Structure formats: structure tokens, C-alpha cells
Chain A
Amino acid sequence: MAERVGVYVCHCGSNIAGMVDVEEVARWAGANLKDVVVARDYKFMCSSLGQAMIEEDIKKEGLTRVVVAACSPHLHEKTFRRACENAGLNPYLCQMTNIREHVSWVSKDRAKATEKARALVAAAVERVKHQAPLEPFFVKVNPATLVIGGGIAGLQATLELADAGYPVYLVERTPSIGGHMAQFDKTFPTLDCSACILTPKMSEAGQHPNVTLFTYAEVEEVSGSVGHFRVKIRKKARYVEEDKCTGCGICVEKCPRKVVDHDFEAGLGYRKAIYTPFPQAVPRIPVIDVESCIWFERQKCRACEKLCPTGAINFDQKDEEITLDVGNIIVATGWKMFDCKKIPQYGYGRLANVFTALEFERMCNAAGPTGGKIVLRDGKTEPQSVAIIHCVGSRDSNHNEYCSGICCMAALKFGHLVLEKTKAEVYSFYIDMRTNQKGYEEFYHRLLEEGMHFVRGKVAEVTDAARRPEEAGKLIIQVEDTLMGKQRRIPVDMVILMGALEPQADAKELGLKLGISCSMAGWYTERHPKLDPVATMTDGIFVAGVCQGPKDIPASVAQGAAAAARVMAMITKGDVMIEPVVASIIEEKCSGCRICNNLCPYNAIEYDAEKQVSRVITAMCKGCGTCVAACPAGAITGAHFSNEQVFAEIEGILWDAVHGNGGAGVKEGQPVSA
């Protein structure tokens, strides 16, 4: 029996109709495409009236298949599937084709756009006829959650979930939770002490009965899918046994090896070979850095071991692999700072008194290497003038095009701290001042009144090549002051580079393990930039904080809490619907070659050694189709993406070329051209 297909072409206001002759596409489909019994266009097909129209047609016209030509299925596939279901049609017998993102938004020629829309509709009609009814299935959601990254965003998410009564595993790569915020002295614009507001959260996470901390640990492997992920983490050897260590700190005190701390102190201070990154670290369990430990270098010393009162030092400790089962994952891996040496004309690494923003944060911190004193690299001289250069590596087509968002405010904060702690003149070299959150513009005005100098212009270079006697021994800022329209040379003692926020070096790699994607710049991509900012395209994986894009502390905290709320909704509901778009293996055809076993990116294929056939674990299959394409015996079928369906779609799209005019799927005796 022939199928009865309904075709619905959406105007999307003028979004589609402005470039595609939608009325003509509908008329043409109704007149020319085989088995199409109804074809309509409508202003907004996703509106309740549009949906009602489809539902009514299904009932009255006895439609057995529905094609909606509108926007991306990411946006409205659910809507139209629901409409079909309401009218008693299996939702998988509805096919969407995208004539907005794929046609109207990317076309300039109306006639050609209309022609392309016609081809896409023909393809969808041919395909939908081969689609089969499918039933979704449900899996239970494991109430435990994995949070990756113990910075402020990850901490917030952890505490929200733990306080709601759900178990959380918090994995942090460094020896302590706290993230970048632990390095800062003050936070803008209120100037409250960063540690004072952060450390209560850190210790709460450290002691919470629902939180299991894994510090100095990395995520190695992620398998499974929403509701039931299985995660392998590698706990790196600390060489200190966590259950024995009391955090007394004798080992650190007595360790004879002192090295420059490039991590927490940003290269400005020192740490021992056995260390906790900072006094309020959580947990307070030190780590031995094998790169600098004398024992690992030349098998001597072991002073820490001899002096430890509880015998917690263990030089034989090995990395440990731990497997966790969780229902959801929140990724909050943060950022790293741009390598300022990539802009050699600013002299970082060559000119001693050029500092990065992170170095300066540590310098301002009362617990930092200078005890909070603002001094030159010699460790004692107070600067008489300080230049702060904005947008170092941001808003720069040679490096990162994006704005790092927080640097203007951080620069103002630095300006305030310099003015407060020293008698120095402070210059800010900015392109545009961006202070658009609550209380930020007011803070900018405060600095204007405090006497910080603002020079609008991108600095050409920082040089020690003096031209005039008054420049001798100084760092000279060469800049075009674009408000004065003049080249200026301003000699200063100290320069602070506001380096860009960049994605972690291994963000892409972790993204691959998790099955989430990154933007061109390397930030994790959210499901929708406006309406779904913490979800990702992979169900059960959420993002929070700077790993999704540059943002300040309040925004990171908000995202951490938002991600936790999304996870709680999943846990409360208890189960999650799984799309029935999965692969299945016809056992009679399977030769047991196991090619598919290794290719499956989700480890969703198991091998039955007894019967010598492979089998798809349906709950883990994501329907990617890799195995379907790879199977040499053609024994694997992808539901909703069968060969039959895909070939029908291809023939449909080539309706005017397959057999000349009157090609596949075209009604006999009908004129096919528009």
C-alpha cells in the first residue's frame, strides 16, 4: 500500500520566506512528488496553530508520514514528533528537513535557494517513506555525579548537589581544590578578599559527607551514556599516604630542596620538592614533585620519610586507577593564561620588570612571595610608575580574536591596589574599556577619581632602548594615544601584561573523551548559546565556568549552580529516555570478525565468545553509524539510518538528475520543472 505523505513548509516569519519561495515549494511538492497527498505552507509551523494543522491532517487525511521543511531539527524535531504522536502517528515517521540554516540563511539567490529547498523536500519525502516506527526506551539515572575541575565553578556545582543530598565525585588535577581564585588577593569590584570567600567553600567541599575528593587526579576514559557513565580516573602518586597524613607540615619544613613554583606562585615564588600549593589547601596532604625531589634525582635524602611522625611517606606509591559510575558529568576545567612571550615586543621574559597578570596577583597577595608588597623583580624596590597593558593576546587577530572579558576589571583592580599600596603613577593602556556588569562601571569611575591615567591605544612596544636621558634605566611604553592623535613614549618602572584567558592545553583531548566539542577558539560548545548555556550536545554532560568561554567569578558561580540544577532535575526524574536510533547486528550474518568492536567510539559492542558473534549494547549505543559502515558482511543496521533510507534520501535529492526530468519519486505525467 502506498504511503500518504504530508509536506509542511514553514515561512519562519521572513527567516525562510525572505529567501525561499515557500508557497511555490509547497505547491510544487503537492503537485509533483509521488505519494504526497497534502502540502501546505504556514507562517510559523512550530506555533500551536501550525502543529494543530498537522495533527488535523493526520487524522482527516489519514497521513502515514509527515515531512516538515523548517529550521534545524536541533530546535524543533521534538515539537513536530510530539505533534505526530498526539495524532496517533509514531513520532519516528516524521522527518524534518532544514531549509533555514542550510538554505535561506546561507543563500543570496532566491531562485537557486528555492531550487535547493525543493531538492531537500524531495529527499525528505523519499526518505520518510522508508522510515519505520520506533519505540524509545528508558534507563535509570545513577544519582552520583562527577565534577571535573575544582575551581570556583566546579566547587559551586559540587556543593549544590551535595547539599541537595546527592553523592558527588570531584576530580581535580592539581594537589588542591580552589583553582585560580585561590591565587588572587582581591576580587573586583567589591575588593573583598578572594581567599576569605573561597576557603569556606573549599573546606566545606573537603568535609562534606556527600563529596568524595580526588585531587592530583585526571580523567582517563569515559564510557557509557547519560544516566550510566563509567569513568576511569588516574590518581597520580603523591608518595604520601592520604589516610596516614595529618597535614602537620613537618615534611615540607624539613625538605632541603627549594624550587621555583611555576604553578601556584606563577614563577614568582618558591616551593619545596614536597609541598602543598598554599597554606589553606584542601586536602592538606602534600605531594612529592618527582621532577625536583633529591631522592628521585640521585637516590639520596628521604628526610621527609625519616621525620614524618605518622609514617605517611611512601616512595613506592604508584599511580592508581579508579573506576566511578555516575549518572551525569559536569565539566568545569577552567582556563590557562596566554603565553606572553608570544608577543616579543612587550618584552616578557627578556625585560625583568615586565610581569604577567598572574604574577602580579601573587605579588599583591599578602600570603604571596613578596608578602603583598608591590616591588620590582629585585624584590625590594618600589616602582614609581606602573603601566598596565590590556588585551595582551585578546582581541588580536594574530592570537585570539575574542575579548577575554575580565581583564579590564582586573586591570582596574590592579590600578587600585598600586595606588593604595605605593606612591606610583599608574597608566592603563586600553583599546576599549569594558565594564558592563553590576557595579563595574562605578568601579571604573572610582579609579578615574583616584587618579589612574587612561591612555586609549594599543601599545606598539615595551623597550629598554632609551632615546632621551629621562628614559634611561626605564621601560618605555611606545604607544599611539588615539584620543590625542599622537605618538607617546611613557617611561615606567614596571609593566603588567593582562594576558588573555585561553582554553586549557588539553581541552580538546578531554572533549574527545567526553564526546563534547569545542569552538574554533577551543572553548566547550554549549547546546544553545542563549537558551541552553550549560548543557552540551551530549546528554548528561554539562559545562560550567570559563571552560565554556571567558567569564568572571559571579558568572562562573551562576553556571556552576545552573549545571547542578540541571543534573538534579535528571536525578529527581529518575530515568531518562534514550533515542531508539541505535545499531543492531543480525547474528546470522555476523562472521565474528570483531572489526566493529574496536571501532565503536562508545564501547557499545560486546563479543559473545560462545556464539562467536558481536552484539550491540543498546543502552550505550549512540547511533553514530561507524559500525554500520565498517561491517564487511553488511550485518549491522542502523535504525533510522538504514541503507535503504539513506539511498532513498540521495535519490530524492537528485530528483531532477537521476533519470532526467521525471526522476525518482516524481509523479508520472506531471511537469516537474517549476
Chain B
Amino acid sequence: MKYAYYPGCSLECSSAAYDMSVRAVADLLGIELREIDDWNCCGATEYFSQDELTACAVIARNLALIEPQLDQVVAPCAACYLNLRKVDSLMKEDPALADKINQCLAAGRLHYDPGRVRVRHLLDLIHTDIGETAIKDKVVQPLTGLRVACYYGCQIVRPYDGFDNPEQPVKLDELMTWVGAEVVDFPVKAHCCGGHMTQISEPQAFELIRRLLHNAAEYRADLILCMCPMCQLNLDAYQNRVNSFFGTNYQIPIIFFTQLLGVAFGLDWKKLGFGKEIVPAEPVLRKKLTAPAATA
């Protein structure tokens, strides 16, 4: 299985653990990820509020760069995934806009025909294309007893009708059950983490983050799994600030779902990027996962 791979900027640095674990897990599952040559930033959410055409063209450039023999692209970052999908569907719906975008791309001798490439999120790909049996076959360290809260955030399931229920998604819950984890009820699983609100108004952003941490703590989750760099950053990096702001004492590790998949598959924790998170995950994992990988 070959897919074009669009890592996005976050995975270069702040979410390097995501990139490392994605590559390690994909390798093990036989997914060939072909990184798009010379890809550029998707512009996140900000560019669209400045100038739609430029925002679209910046994103479309990545789609246009995908090798002609590949017809699917996978983006692990929720914002990148959403942006690629958005531009692809905008171009489909609005041929005039598609023309303008292609005029922009022509300056770099590029062209993109809307619909040529199917934009996939990594979770969809692992859940659907790899599937239950193949996943279960690879488990060497079942995650028995580990209570995980699966956090989807807002961008993966909304606004486009995608691969999961937009209000109460379940695909990551199912995936985690396959590898033996205990998935806790997490009613806020598709609520917003605040995104870039931390840069604009801390009280509002912190309240959104607190709600998520509070709910996970209420259900006694050992850790929260993310599939979006922004969510992971907000919940992890701001956890202490949120604690001092509200006088709380949450200590919940926030990791990427691919990292935990890697653990279940018995991969080397260092290669999965553990240690880069701020609230450390390793002590919790060591405490909960009694049987070491080697003996499993």
C-alpha cells in the first residue's frame, strides 16, 4: 500500500513524536509513505482569513506536487488534513476558483485537477485499509488495563462528512480496543481544545482545556490520545498553566495515538518519540503495562 505523505510543519518540530511514531508504525504495518517532495506549509487556519485565493493556492501546490502514480495522500495533522480536503472540494465545487488556483500554480509549472487525489486522515487509513485482523496480528504488548481517553478534536470529523460520526466518533475507540486498551467514556471527545485561542485570550482557552482534562480525570483516564498536533500541544504544554490558573492538579500525559499503537506493537519507545512530551507518559505506561514487550 503506497500513499503520498504530507507531514506538515508541526511534525517537523513541536510534534516530532507524531512524525517518528507515524513512520515507525506505518513501516511495521507495511504502509509505504512517500513524502511529497518540496512540500510547503498548509497555512493552517490563519491564511484563509487573510486571502482565500493565496490560501488555496498554497495548499493546492502540495496536491499538485504529488507523484502522478499516487492517488491518495495521508496527512496525520488534523489541520493539514482539513485544509487539503477543503481545497480539493472547493476546486470541485467552483470551477472558476479552480481555474484561478491553477493560474497561480502555473507560475511554478504546476497543475492540479480537483478530485485526482483522495485526501485521507491517518486514523481512517489504519482503521479501514489495514483493519482489525491485521492490527490484532501485530500486537505483542497488549495494552490491558491501560485506561485511555480518545480525543478526536473538531477538525477531523467536521465539517466534511468523513469516515466517522461527526458528533460522537468511535474509530479510535475501536482501534484502541483492538490493541487491548480500556477505552473510557469521554463525552467531550469531539469538543474543541481552543486551537490558537491561547495566543489571543488565555482565560477562554484555558477553560476549554480544563474541560477536557477535567472530563478525562473524572473517568480516570491514564492518558489522553490525540491525533492533532494542536490538541496535543494545548493539552500538554498548557497543562501546568491551566493547573495554576484554576488551582487544579491534573497530571495527565497527552500522547499521539500512533505512539501508543507503537507500544502495543512492541516498537522501541525511543523511536516512537517518547520523552518529548511535557507531562511524562513513560512512568504511567511502565506502571500499567506489567508484562514487558519482550516476554509478550
**Cross-chain contact B167 with A461 (CB below 8 angstroms):** yes
Chain B residues in 8 Å Cβ range of A345: 167-168
Q: Which residues of A contact B187 (CB under 8 A)?
A: 347, 461, 463-465
- Residue ID in chain A nearest B212 by CB atoms: A465
Q: Which residues of A contact B167 (CB under 8 A)?
A: 343-345, 461
Residues of the B chain whose Cβ atoms lie less than 8 Å from the Cβ of A611: none
A344, B218: Cα distance in complex, Å: 20
Q: Which residues of A contact B271 (CB under 8 A)?
A: none
The answer, yes or no, to whether A78 is at the interface (CB within 8 Å) is no
The number of A-B residue pairs with CB atoms under 8 Å apart is 23
Query: Would you call A350 an interface residue if the criterion is a C-beta within 8 Å of the partner chain's C-beta atoms?
Result: yes
Bound-state Cα–Cα, A463 to B215, Å: 11
In the complex, residue of chain B having the shortest beta-carbon distance to the beta carbon of A462: B187
- B211 adjacent to A465 (CB under 8 Å): yes
Consensus secondary structure, chain B interface: loop
Find the B residue at minimum CB distance from A350.
B185
Q: B57 contacts the other chain (Cβ, under 8 Å)?
A: no
Interface residues of A in 311-353 (CB under 8 A from B): 343-345, 347, 350
Chain B residue numbers with a CB within 8 Å of A463 are: 187-188
Counting CB contacts under 8 A, is A573 at the interface? Answer: no
- CA of A464 to CA of B215 in the docked complex: distance in angstroms? 9
Min Cβ gap A285→B in Å is 44
Size of chain A's interface in residues, with CB distance under 8 A? 11
Q: Mark B147-182, 1 if CB is under 8 A from A, else 0.
A: 000000000000000000101100000000000000
Q: Please determine whether B215 and A465 come into contact, CB atoms closer than 8 angstroms.
A: yes
Complex CA distance for A347 and B185, rounded to whole angstroms: 11
Q: A464-B187, A465-B187 are in contact. Are A344 and B165 (CB under 8 A)?
A: yes
Q: How far is the CB of A352 from chain B (nearest CB, A)?
A: 12
Q: What's the dominant secondary structure at chain A's contact region?
A: loop
Q: Is the CB of B168 within 8 A of A344?
A: yes
Residue ID in chain A nearest B167 by CB atoms: A345
A463 and B211 CA atoms in complex are apart in Å by 12
Chain A proximity of B193: nearest CB distance (Å)? 14
B187 smallest CB distance to A (angstroms)? 4
* Complex: A347 Cα to B168 Cα, angstroms: 9
* Residue of A343, A345, A350 with highest tally of chain B CB at under 10 A: A345
The yes or no answer to A467 lying at the interface (CB within 8 A) is: yes
Contact A467 B211, CB 8 Å, known A344-B168, A461-B167? yes
Complex Cα distance A467/B210, Å?
9
A465 proximity list for chain B (CB < 8 A): 187-188, 211, 214-215, 218
Chain B residues with Cβ under 8 A from A344's Cβ?
165, 167-168
| CB closest chain-A residue, reference B207 | A467
C-alpha spacing A283/B96, complex, angstroms: 69
Hey, which chain A residues are within 8 Å of B218, CB to CB?
465-466
Those of A346-376 within 8 Å (CB) of chain B: 347, 350
Cα–Cα distance between A345 and B158 once the two chains are bound (Å): 14
List chain B residues, Cβ under 8 A from A347.
Answer: 187
Q: Mark B184-224, 1 if CB is under 8 A from A, else 0.
A: 01011000000000000000000000010011001000000
Chain A nearest CB, measured from B34 CB (Å): 36
B242 to chain A, nearest CB (A): 14
Shortest Cβ gap from A564 to chain B (Å): 45
CA distance A444 to B188 in the complex (A): 35
List chain B residues, Cβ under 8 A from A350: 185
Which residue of chain A is the closest to B161 with respect to CB atoms?
A398
Residues of A within 8 A of B165 (CB): 344
Smallest CB separation, B208 vs chain A (Å): 10
- Kindly list chain A residues whose C-beta atoms are within 8 Å of the C-beta of B215: 465
Distance in Å: Cβ of B163 to nearest Cβ of chain A: 15
Report chain A residues within 8 Å CB of B211.
Answer: 465, 467
Which among A343, A347, A350, A465 has the highest number of chain B CB atoms within 10 Å? Answer: A465
- Chain B residues near A461: list those with CB within 8 A: 167, 187
CB-CB < 8 A to B214: which residues of A?
465-467
Q: How far is the CB of A469 from chain B (nearest CB, A)?
A: 11
**A347 and B218 alpha carbons, distance in the complex (Å):** 17
Assembled-state Cα–Cα distance A350/B189 (Å): 14
Contact sample, A vs B, 17 pairs, CB 8 Å cutoff: A343-B167, A344-B165, A344-B167, A344-B168, A345-B167, A345-B168, A347-B187, A461-B167, A461-B187, A463-B188, A464-B187, A465-B187, A465-B211, A465-B214, A465-B215, A465-B218, A466-B214
- Taking beta carbons and an 8 Å cutoff, which residues of A are in contact with B? 343-345, 347, 350, 461, 463-467
Beyond the given A345-B168, A461-B187, A466-B214, please list 13 additional residue pairs across the A-B interface where CB-CB is below 8 A.
Answer: A344-B165, A344-B167, A345-B167, A350-B185, A463-B187, A463-B188, A465-B187, A465-B188, A465-B211, A465-B215, A465-B218, A466-B218, A467-B214
- Give me the 7 closest cross-chain CB pairs, A-B, nearest first: A344-B168, A345-B167, A465-B187, A465-B215, A463-B187, A465-B188, A344-B167
